[in-house]
Amino acid sequence: MEDAFRPSTDLDDPPNSRLFLVTSKSITEEIIREQFATFGEIQDVWVVKDKQTKESKGVSFVKFAKSSEACAAMEEMHGKCLVEGTKPIKVFIAQARSSGSHRDVEDEELTRIFVMIPKTFTEDDLKDTFKTYGDIEYCIVVKNKSTGESKGLGYVRYHKPSHAATAIENCDKTYRAILAEPRNKTPAPDNEYFSAPRTDHVMGDQGMNPYPQFADSGNYTRGDLRGTDIITRCLMVSTRASITQEQVYSLFDLVPGLDYCEMQQDSYGFSTGNAMIRYNNLGSAVYAKNKLDGFEYPPGNRLVVAHIDDGEDRRSPLGRMAMQLVAAQMMSIVCNPGAAQLRKTSTGYPSPAVPQMPRVQTDVALPPLQKLAPSDSRVKERLFVVFKPVPLPMDVLEDVFCRFGSLIEVFLVPGRNVGYMKYAERKSADDAMASLHGQTINGIKMKVMLADPPKEESHKRQRTY
DNA sequence: CGACGGGACGC
DNA sequence: CGACGGGACGC
């Protein structure tokens, strides 16, 4: 039946999560389990044995849940003696079963990642972004040879496979980090680059504005925003400083009734400096706007807060009543800072210790989360989704649309209020459509329809979508 | 040198 | 009404 979609556990999924061990024949599965357990979630240990004699062939496979776990185990355990008196073991990342190759996988192939980055990114930006996952040997931004402008692509070489794997696993998905294909096989591992003296420690955080698109956008003033007189539960927060969604959340959660906060991201996944806030009542929104518009957070950075049209509530008299009620609650908090459980965050700004807010709020009865289908799955069906008034964030969409199974990817059309959901199984798409069409998620209304086939430009091969 | 088993979906 | 993203390194 063609390539039936397998949620199977066997494959080398994720890639490079399986180890190939060469050990003394006396080493058992139990010994291996015991010694490798500290590196992560072991999914399988298999000691290869002779079919007749049942004796170990001195070869084993250890499957971890994550590549970073397998890599860390390899780095730590290679050359160790698992049992006193036995020969030191060899540990490699196993070749994918499908590859058929038995060549050793070299660190060279496991330490360099390839990423998509904003065209404004310098190599230092790249380094600053990815050094949190491990020691970087070097960074390269791919540039146009003649003009020198960035192509929005970069390479990061780490010293250790586990660092590259951790970066791929944990960096923002919009970087689309993958292992870089090894460059033309030049078997000259001449890595004697100790050239430039370290200039690593960056002085302050002020030196670099990660959002250059805001460098010259400071001349809109608060008076001339159209619609400042509308009253809604939704607010738009604009900031020129790089503050996180968590910080915005903590700040606006000082006003009771916050039920949604999301920093908007551009198509690269970088903060746009705008966050959408929604309260469960008009009064809280009005109060938060009045208190926080123009508030300096962090000191020196004036936030701009304005109501935005959420398509429902408008200048309701109820809003003013609710506002007064909430104002009374606020007074007690403002006058008793101790009651607000202020603490220092990692950034040093005071913020309340608040429980995590559920990311998705809706009346729809959602099935449990399901794993995404592998990104190289065949697309069997696509949904076309229209949002009103603005698109939901990618992570929310993934959270919601994955619950019907086999979701491969969410794609939002840049600059429009529409997007596509790709599924590996038709039934998943159908189920999602049946459950979600016409529904409201986080205050955003959605139409969910089958997508028309993409405009066909030629009679050639089918696009990969 | 040192490379690929076992088990059996679920309405 | 509201429609279609995307990737490779001067050695």
Can you point out the beta strands (E) in A258-373?
Answer: 258-265, 271-279, 304-307, 342-344, 350-352
Encode pLDDT of A106-160 as tens digits.
999 999 999 999 888 999 999 999 999 999 999 999 999 889 999 999 999 999 9
Q: Is the CB of A186 under 7 A from strand C?
A: yes
Q: What is the pLDDT of residue A181?
A: 94
Identify the residue whose tokens are 């729809």.
A364
Beta bridge partner(s), residue A22: A59, A90
Q: What is the pLDDT of residue A213?
A: 33
CB A209 within 8 A of CB A177: no
Q: Is the CB of A11 under 7 A from strand B?
A: no
Q: What is the pLDDT of residue A151?
A: 92
Distance CA A305, CA A274 (A): 10
> Mean pLDDT across the stretch A290-316?
78
Q: Is the CB of A316 under 7 A from strand B?
A: no
Distance CA A63, CA A170 (A): 20
Q: What is the pLDDT of residue A315?
A: 52
**A408 has pLDDT over 70:** yes
> Mean pLDDT across the stretch A302-330?
66
Nucleotide C10, nearest residue via CA and C1': A145
pLDDT band at A397 (very low <50, low <70, confident <90, very high): very high
- A283 CA – C1 C1', rounded, Å: 33
Highest mean pLDDT among A85-99, A240-254, A323-337: A85-99
Mean pLDDT of chain A: 80
Lowest mean pLDDT among A62-71, A133-142, A160-169, A300-309: A300-309
pTM of the model: 0.63
- A244 CA – C1 C1', rounded, Å: 36
- A46 CA – B4 C1', rounded, Å: 9
Higher pLDDT, A337 or A137: A137
Lowest mean pLDDT among A96-100, A128-132, A149-153, A185-189: A185-189
Nucleotide C1, nearest residue via CA and C1': A386
**A304 has pLDDT over 80:** yes
Encode pLDDT of A340-391 as tens digits.
444 444 444 454 444 455 678 889 999 999 999 988 889 999 999 999 988 9
Helices and strands (H, E) in chain A, number of each type: 9, 19
Q: What is the pLDDT of residue A330?
A: 57
Q: Is the CB of A398 under 7 A from strand C?
A: no
Distance CA A266, CA A420 (A): 17
**A456 has pLDDT over 60:** yes
Give strand B nucleotides closer than 7 A to any protein Cβ.
Answer: 1-7
Higher pLDDT, A275 or A418: A418
> Mean pLDDT across the stretch A30-44?
97
CB A263 within 8 A of CB A248: yes
- Which pair of tokens denotes residue A281? 């009542």
Encode pLDDT of A202-250 as tens digits.
333 333 333 333 333 333 333 333 444 677 888 989 888 778 888 899 8
Chain A residues 89 to 118 whose Cβ lies within 7 Å of strand B are 90, 92, 94-95, 97, 99, 102-105
Q: Is the CB of A192 under 7 A from strand C?
A: no
Q: What is the pLDDT of residue A238?
A: 87
Percentage of residues of chain A with pLDDT beyond 70: 74
Q: Is the CB of A366 under 7 A from strand C?
A: no
- Which pair of tokens denotes residue A72? 């860390």
Q: What is the pLDDT of residue A217?
A: 33
Distance CA A296, CA A261 (A): 19
